[in-house]
């Protein structure tokens, strides 16, 4: 399946008269170390504990809110609630991506992207510090942007989290705590590194790569 990349190919980066920005050089410098870490087993299904103040809960909530016929793309606990990104597929093709926040008794926030409704999730990968990259998946719902993040590399302030924006104001910023049954990373089924283009890309048009300022310097 072709991978839609977020950045230019290696050939286009290093050739031609166009000078790269400082951010572009930083991204190129960080990718090798982060890709090495990202090469660890990241497609297993597990769960993270997440609280509103970023501290681990002692009672572990449900692993995810994904349904039996869905694969877990990302899942993280929010105290007694959970946020989950779930994929429903036909063979090798993803036909639906769903974000759910709440608990098994009550879903508080639901966003579904499929070919019929025209909704799409957006994604980007950007440096947060000289030794870290932050993978981002988000959607806009009314005045709010709901953003899931995963940080890879040695200089990550936290491994993963959830942020909610209203315009340029951060109204929620929570960090995932690591647990033995960890799920707070993005599955390669939807977001993976393309070694040819030397860039992360999406494997589904339901998740579109897009450059965006998600205020990483504030939330990380």
Mean pLDDT of 44-57: 38
Highest mean pLDDT among 4-13, 138-147, 168-177: 138-147
> Does the structure show a pLDDT above 60 at 36?
no
Q: Is 95 left (phi over 0), alpha (psi -120 to 50) or beta?
A: alpha
Q: What is the pLDDT of residue 22?
A: 45
Q: What percent of the chain has pLDDT over 70?
A: 70
Q: What is the pLDDT of residue 131?
A: 82
What are the pLDDT digits (tens) for 118-135? 999 999 999 887 788 999
Rounded distance, CA 75 to CA 81, Å?
A: 11
Report the candidate in 199, 181, 212, 154 with the shortest Cα–Cα distance to residue 45: 181
The answer to whether the beta carbons of residues 156 and 132 sit under 8 Å apart is yes
């Amino acid at each position: 399946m072709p991978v839609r990349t977020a950045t230019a190919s290696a050939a286009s980066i290093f050739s031609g008269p166009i000078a790269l920005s400082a951010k572009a050089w930083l991204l190129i410098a960080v990718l090798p170390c982060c890709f090495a870490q990202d090469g660890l087993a990241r497609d297993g299904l597990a769960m993270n504990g997440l609280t509103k103040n970023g501290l681990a809960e002692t009672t572990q909530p449900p692993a995810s809110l994904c349904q039996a016929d869905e694969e877990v793309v990302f899942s993280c606990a929010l105290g007694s609630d959970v946020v989950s990104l779930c994929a429903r597929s036909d063979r090798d093709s993803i036909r639906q991506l769903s974000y759910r926040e709440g608990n098994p008794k009550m879903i508080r926030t639901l966003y579904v992207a499929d070919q019929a409704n025209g909704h799409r999730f957006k994604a980007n990968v950007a440096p947060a510090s000289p030794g870290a990259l932050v993978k981002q998946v988000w959607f806009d719902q009314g005045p709010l942007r709901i953003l899931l993040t995963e940080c890879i590399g040695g200089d990550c302030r936290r491994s993963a989290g959830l942020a909610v924006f209203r315009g340029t104001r951060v109204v929620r910023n929570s960090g995932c705590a690591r647990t033995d049954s960890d799920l707070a990373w993005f599955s390669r089924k939807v977001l993976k590194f393309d070694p040819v283009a030397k860039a992360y890309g999406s494997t589904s048009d339901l998740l579109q790569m897009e450059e965006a300022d998600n205020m990483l310097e504030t939330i990380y």
